[in-house]
Amino acid sequence: MMDGEEKRKLRVFLNYASEDREAVLKLYQRLVAAGIEAWLDIEKLLPGQKWRLKIDEAIASSDAVIVCISKHSITKEGYVQKEIKDALEKLAEKPDDAIYLIPAKIEECEVPARLSELQWVDLFDEKSFDRLIQALRLRAERVNASLPVTNESAGTFTKPSSPPQVDDGRRTPIVFLGLTAVALIIISVIISSFVQHWLTAAPASPPADSPSPVSVLSPTLTMILPHPTSTPTLTFTPPPASTPTLTPTSTALPDRMVDEKGVAMALIPAGELTMGNNKGLSPEKPEHLVFLSAYYIDVYEVTNASYAACQTDGACPPPTSNRSRTFFRYYSDPAFANFPVVYVNWEMAQAYCSWRMARLPTEAEWEKAARGADQRLFPNGAGMSCTLANYCRGDTTPAGRYQESPSPYGLYDMAGNVAEWVADWYSAGYYGASSPENPTGPAAGQLRVVRGGSFNSSAHTELQTTARAALRPDSALDYVGFRCVREP
């Protein structure tokens, strides 16, 4: 480059899964505002162009590649994985200290193993965008490109809670970009107004048997925006202790009880369960008969208020984050006292249950509580819709909100809202060797079983009573909670 010649802009390619289109479009707009020549297919591809060729050319000519990591991108097959492969091959040609491929998490999820040697950035954390720009500035200096200092503010990058989209692995170009931008603004305003109205209009008190929430009238809810990182002091009042709601007059066990911490529980009577689903996925096979002794299980998922009482007693550590998927203040905000607690790992869930002189349910106990004795595929015995379970809203809802959709034993949110930790280690082939009486899962493993699906579920099959999932026990995510069981 000759003296006085203007430097070109830094060229950055954005790799992503199509389900994350809206979130990545926001990132693209911020990069462009920062003076970067970003390449995003829905902004750069024109109708009639050979999209595979243009994407390959864009990767080849880019100075850096940002891999946008989400739960969708790490599991999706297709061209999104080929782009990562091509970028890794190009990275192999760079010096060891070169910043070229940047993993960027747009939601809480695991980083793929093939990218684990590279430091990633959490784009949903405070100051994350500044760190990303700092890395790109180093890359610009290395390739003699420009990246001016701008007034673009750092802040929280929020993944929109739009329903996932299904496609064939390609992305559809957007032609009318101006109309799209206007539509996105209008949709954001509508969603924000709807969420605030919905939560404000929620009943001031939960249904019978529900954990007692902190009383809050007409709470004002703030959507995720950059905030100070300090965590407010918890002010939850532990629910009052109570006696069982049904007092047995004979040797029969009551159908309902309230434990010493004020939590409602339902009796699951002793008996047999046909566990598994021969028409389901491989880990759900084979169907097999097991006998379970009687036990009590929580009617509702453990709430923020109830978990806070355990923390106040010094028996539980705080959740690893104060936020939820779409709200910056969640756990410490009394407006969400009756919502399920999230960002708790397996050990934290077990510590809470122990505080209540209870434990996490086994996988078999959880399935019987959700399925009953009639082998139903959904807890309500019918089917799923957005009016019967929370898998369409993009965030948690109050515990027991869907009163018209209980399990056969009167439990709520056994499908959707948050997925639930259970006690068992996970093994895909365990059903073929399961104990016929009170099975407790494999003796050891690397993953713990998670059941029930969540607001993050993208298919009805994930909400079925036989669906199995697994996570590392140290995972603390915004869509995973739990409930407890105890012996009579």
Are residue 136 and residue 233 in the same domain, yes or no?
A: no
Give the confidence band of 226 by pLDDT, cuts at 50, 70, 90.
very low
Place of tokens 């969400």: 336
Q: State how far the alpha carbon of 226 is from the alpha carbons of 68, 135, 199, 396, in Å.
A: 20, 21, 22, 21
Q: Of 440, 257, 255, 444, which is closest to residue 359 (Cα–Cα)?
A: 440
**Average pLDDT in the 290-315 region?**
97
Structural element, H or E, at residue 40: none
Are residue 414 and residue 265 in the same domain, yes or no?
A: yes
How many domains would you assign to the chain? 2
Are residue 238 and residue 138 in the same domain, yes or no?
A: no
How many Å apart are CA 19 and CA 25, to the nearest integer? 12
Tokens, residue 460: 């009805």
Beta bridge partners of 201: none
Give the confidence band of 208 by pLDDT, cuts at 50, 70, 90.
very low
Are residue 124 and residue 254 in the same domain, yes or no?
A: no
Tokens, residue 46: 């024109």
Final residue of a domain: which of 96, 121, 142?
Answer: 142
Q: Mean pLDDT of all residues in the chain?
A: 81
How many Å apart are CA 205 and CA 291, to the nearest integer? 38
Are residue 309 and residue 435 in the same domain, yes or no?
A: yes
Task: Supply φ then ψ for residue 164, to 5 degrees.
Answer: -65, 150
Give the confidence band of 147 by pLDDT, cuts at 50, 70, 90.
confident
Q: So what's the pLDDT on residue 427?
A: 95
Q: Of 75, 58, 86, 84, which is closest to residue 19 (Cα–Cα)?
A: 75
439, pLDDT greater than 70: yes
Final residue of a domain: which of 122, 142, 162?
Answer: 142
Report if residue 162 sits inside a domain. Answer: no
- CATH, residue 103: 3.40.50.10140
Q: Of 471, 465, 379, 459, which is closest to residue 421 (Cα–Cα)?
A: 471
**Average pLDDT in the 346-361 region?**
98
**Which pTM was predicted?**
0.53
Are residue 136 and residue 252 in the same domain, yes or no?
A: no
Final residue of a domain: which of 124, 142, 160?
Answer: 142
Are residue 117 and residue 250 in the same domain, yes or no?
A: no
Q: So what's the pLDDT on residue 249?
A: 39
154-205 pLDDT tens trace: 334 444 443 333 333 434 343 344 444 445 555 555 555 544 444 444 443 3
Q: Of 183, 145, 170, 4, which is closest to residue 79 (Cα–Cα)?
A: 170
Are residue 122 and residue 256 in the same domain, yes or no?
A: no
Give the confidence band of 266 by pLDDT, cuts at 50, 70, 90.
very high
Report if residue 201 sits inside a domain. Answer: no
Strand 64-69 versus strand 101-105 pairing type = parallel
Report if residue 161 sits inside a domain. Answer: no
Structural element, H or E, at residue 355: helix 346-355
Report if residue 174 sits inside a domain. Answer: no
Structural element, H or E, at residue 374: none
209, pLDDT greater than 80: no
Q: Which domain holds residue 353?
A: 226-488
251, pLDDT greater than 80: no
Q: Are 112 and 145 in contact (CB under 8 A)?
A: no
